[in-house]
Amino acid sequence: MMLFSKDRRDGIYLKDLASFKKFLPWIMPGINQSAVYFRSQVDLKKTVPFIQAWNEKGGQLTLFQVLAAALLRVGLEIPAMNRFVSGRRIYERRERSVAFTMKAGDGDATTKVRLRPGDTLSMVSAQVLAAIHKEREAAAGQGRNIFDTLQHFPRWLLRLIMGLWRILDYHDLLPRVIYDMVPMYSSVYIANLGSYGIDAPLHHLFDFGNVSLFITLGNIHQAHITTPELNLELRPIVNLGITMDERIVSGHTAARAVTRLKELMEDPSPLEFPWENADRREP
């Protein structure tokens, strides 16, 4: 708890927002009441050869890692995309992080990676690979997390604990370790559905934690694209399903962010360089 301040451990209170914007969490208190949905088709004509060339040099780059690095860059260029609502107030998140689900053992595991403003594509790739390796090792060794423990409690006690959790979160009284441990306290949550061979659905947001952005990544497939010259070409594409909390940004800002994300995924080369030195748009 930040004494004598409306700031939180994980966020800075945005006191200078327009009055109506600050009132939105009272009009739409539920995050899924406030969800807006986008579909975006990404042309991978340049991206697939880029990844192949990268991996021929000994890398382990994937489209998922490109998406994570692109999201970091979008969040730096458009800082409003790294906001969240908690306790009926709007905050700017203090860190940049990506949460995601992966295959581990006989099921799935969830983790999150904290990213720094200067992280390049190679740095993001290394951090994602390290997180995946750590979670799969934990799954193989039957490692336990907070949810493994909670699920064994009787329902009446679990209901009490979760009710208390929400109250403490509302007033920023949760221990810092909770924010560090639980993936639902992240800038964005990504589900790579392409790894299961299916397309990207439009996913709900979590009525828990404070993730304001959820992105699903579909499978790479061939589709006909109309070029700027009005030619029809068969190209590799991937679909993104994007869900965001509209209380954090205007429609104009959201549209800019989705457009910029598509640009960076279609040409990831700027992500090879730190943000300070990359060709970037001003927010």
DSSP letter (8 states) at residue 205:
P
- Say whether domain 36-81+95-274 belongs to CATH 3.30.559.10: yes
Distances (CA, A) of 152 to 41, 157, 168, 181: 42, 10, 22, 19
Helical (H) or strand (E) element with 234:
strand 232-245
What CA–CA distance (Å, rounded) separates 121 from 55? 13
- pLDDT tens per residue, range 39-79: 999 999 999 999 999 999 999 999 999 999 999 999 999 99
Give me the residues paired with residue 109 across strands: 102
Distance CA 258, CA 249 (A): 12
How far, rounded to the nearest angstrom, does the alpha carbon of residue 75 sit from its chain's CA centroid? Answer: 10
pLDDT value of residue 230: 85
Q: What is the pLDDT of residue 282?
A: 39
Given a cut of 50, the residues of the chain with pLDDT beneath it are 278-283
CA–CA separation, 61 and 215 (whole Å):
19
Give tens-digit pLDDT for 4-39.
Answer: 679 999 999 999 999 999 999 999 999 999 999 999
- Residue type for position 173: L
